[in-house]
Amino acid sequence: MHWTEHYDETNGLTWEIPEIALDGLDSLEGIDRNRSTEVWTAVLSAIYNAVHLDCAEVPVFAVAGSDSVVTLQRADFAEKIERAIEYFLEVEEYEACQCLQDLKKFI
């Protein structure tokens, strides 16, 4: 996986985020339907960082081959955590599930 730096003008932080190909998705609206471990791991990492740094918005990943960066708002953390837990249960990644359960306490 390729990583890139992203400067967030909103909070003045520079984030190191993964660069992920959308693999045929025609819009960013459907990105959370992409059942990719890469995407859900990026979501987990982004929420973890946002909670610990008390950010209202966090970059999740850069879209490969473009200047777009997918971000996540604090208001959406709980929903994304639930979807990520569902995904990680399906692929039997129980450590990620536990980490997400722990993060829910801080939302």
Q: Are strands 2-8 and 69-73 parallel, antiparallel or unpaired?
A: unpaired
pTM: 0.84
Segment (H or E) for 24: none
Amino acid 32: pLDDT = 53
pLDDT band for position 26 (50/70/90)? low
Mean pLDDT of 35-44: 85
- pLDDT single digits (tens) 51-106: 999 999 999 999 888 898 999 999 999 999 999 999 999 989 999 999 999 999 99
DSSP 3-state of 18 = strand
Q: How confident is the model at residue 33 (pLDDT cuts 50, 70, 90)?
A: low
Helix axes 37-53, 94-104, angle to 10 degrees: 30
* HSE-CB for 79 with a 13 A CA cutoff: 7
